[in-house]
Structure formats: C-alpha cells, structure tokens
Amino acid sequence: MTTRLTFHGPLSSARADTIVGRLSANRPHTVLDIGCGWGELLLRVLEAVPEARGTGVDLNETDLGRGRRSAEERGLAGRVAFLAESARDTAHGPADLVLCLGATQALSDADCPTPEALRSLRRLVTDHGRVLLGEGVWDRRPTPAELAGMWPGAAESDHLTLPALLDLAVESGFRPEWTETATLPEWEEFESGCQADQEVWLAANPDAVEVRERLDRHRAQWMSYRGILGMAYLTLVPVRDWTA
Ligand SMILES: C[S@@+](CC[C@H](N)C(=O)[O-])C[C@H]1O[C@@H](n2cnc3c(N)ncnc32)[C@H](O)[C@@H]1O
C-alpha cells in the first residue's frame, strides 16, 4: 500500500535533509521516535550522526518490519531498535532527540495535540536536547460544509492552528527553534503516493467494487481537506529547569 512513499506524511526529501542537518548539529547520542512507523527520518538521523543510537516505538508490525529491513540494508541494525509497543507512558527516554511525527495521539487519549502530550514530550527529552514535532494544523479554519466532506466525524477541534500549536508548545516548556509547514506539492506527493499502487491496480481490475468505493471515498475526502489541512514541523528546544 505504501511502496511509493518515502515518508509517511507530507515531507519532501529536501525538507527532511534540512531538518536532519539541523537536528544532527546538536550531536544527539540517543534518539527516540514516538509512533515511528517505518522510521525513515530516524534512520537518516542515525546515518548523519554515527555515534547516535535510536529507538522507535509503534504498534504497527508491518511498518516496524519495513523499518527493521531498511535499517539492515543500510548497516544501521546494530544501532536501532524498532519496538512493537505503545508509546503511551513509555519507559524509554529521556533522549537527546525525540521525534514525534503525526503521532501525538500516541501520547494521550485525544486525537488532537493536548497539553498532556506536549508535557510528555518535554519529559522525554534531555535538557540539552531537541524535539521534532510534526503535527497537522488548520492552514485555514474549515467551514461546516468542508468539514462534512473530510474524514468521518471531522470536527474543527481535531486540529489546532499553527499559532495555537506554537502557544501550546511554549506553555509546555519549549521554545521554537524552527517553524515550518508542508507545502501543497508535499501534500500532493504524499496523498498520491498513498493511493497510487491501488489506483494502478484498480485500472486493471475495474470490477473490484470495494476497492473502487474506498479509493473514490478517499479521493473525495482529500479534495475536501486539500489546502485546508496543513502540517507543521516544529523544532523545539526544551526550556531549562522547567516544571509543569
Ligand atoms: C501518521 S503515522 C506516522 C508514522 C511516522 N511517525 C512517520 O512520520 O513516518 C502515525 C503512527 O502512530 C502510531 N501510533 C498510534 N498510536 C500509537 C501508540 N499508542 N503507540 C505507538 N505508536 C502509535 C501508528 O501506528 C502510526 O504508525
């Protein structure tokens, strides 16, 4: 399903390279990836920082397997563990670099980023470390009609705006070192890459009703949030001696 994707989100290789450069400059020895999936960014950080060791936690065995195979192929298997476990109340950390890309839901009961999730990230990072938070934000507030076309039960409360996300990070013990948001081409590459293999298969198997309905439904949803749902990448610096 995801053979066309390098990252499991709207992230170009060019932006990833810049992010990895910034994060590597802080010379992390330990990297913890919350809801790592197949951990492409984690592996790129380990390639850039030979003394670093990484831990990725996720519940999805298929994605973890892709991460382990990729680590093996790149000679990184001895420096990274892809663990099948929940990130909620994780015993791993604190780490010098914490990655949390599209995965704050792993740190609290809510689907949108909460003070609880951000405070968890603050506890999981060492005082001199960094957090890279990748989080969906509203690029503009959706109308009720637009929300009705998105995912089932979509609500404005599912995401914050970029200013509100930054405020939440600051209130949770961080300063934003770098703030950036995914571009429309990054979204288009991601959304196309998610569906491309199945679209090509469906064209050759046009009687597969279930697949056609699923792809048509997803396309309609994506067209409803295209240009409205954004993705913020925040490089966060922990404030020293911060207490919740
Ligand atoms: C949108 S994906 C992002 C994956 C990865 N961070 C990336 O950017 O490629 C969200 C991930 O969070 C994981 N996840 C959700 N709840 C989790 C939990 N409680 N503990 C660990 N991982 C969780 C999912 O399995 C999924 O792989």
pLDDT at residue number 244: 67
Domain ranges of the chain: 13-140+155-183+229-238
Beta carbons within 10 angstroms of residue 62's beta carbon: 12
175 token code pair: 């300063």
User: Of the candidates 90, 123, 122, 135, which has an alpha carbon nearest to the alpha carbon of residue 236?
Assistant: 122
How remote is the CA of residue 63 from the centroid of ligand 1, in Å? 9
Average pLDDT over residues 223-229: 98
Q: Is the pLDDT of residue 59 over 70?
A: yes
Q: What are the pLDDT digits (tens) for 101-136?
A: 999 999 998 878 899 999 999 999 999 999 999 999
For ligand 1, pick from 36, 108, 159 the residue to mutate: most ligand atoms within 8 Å of CB: 36
What is the spatial distance between Cα 188 and Cα 11, in angstroms, rounded to a whole number? 10
Is any atom of ligand 1 closer than 6 Å to the C-beta of 58? Answer: yes
Mean pLDDT value across residues 212-230 = 97
- Residue 165 CB–ligand 1 contact under 6 Å: no
Atom of ligand 1 nearest to the CA of 101: 6
59 lines ligand 1 (CB under 6 A): yes
Report the distance separating Cα 220 and Cα 240, nearest Å: 46
Which of 95-104, 216-225, 235-244 shows the lowest mean pLDDT across its residues? 235-244
From the CB of residue 195, how many other CB atoms can be counted at a distance below 10 Å?
A: 17
- Identify whether 94 is preceded by a cis peptide bond (ω within 30 of 0): yes
Ligand 1 site, residue 101, Cβ cutoff 6 A: yes
Beta-bridge mates of residue 58: 84
CATH T-level assignment (fold) for domain 13-140+155-183+229-238: Rossmann fold (3.40.50)
What lies within 8 Å, CB to CB, of 173 at 6+ separation is: 118, 119, 122, 238, 239, 242, 244
Task: Kindly state if the Cβ of 103 falls inside 6 Å of ligand 1.
Answer: yes
pLDDT at 1 over 70: no
What is the average pLDDT value for the chain, to the nearest integer? 96
Interatomic CA distance for residues 192 and 204, integer angstroms:
18
Token pair 């003070």 is found at 115
Q: Which residue has the tokens 């680590």?
A: 71
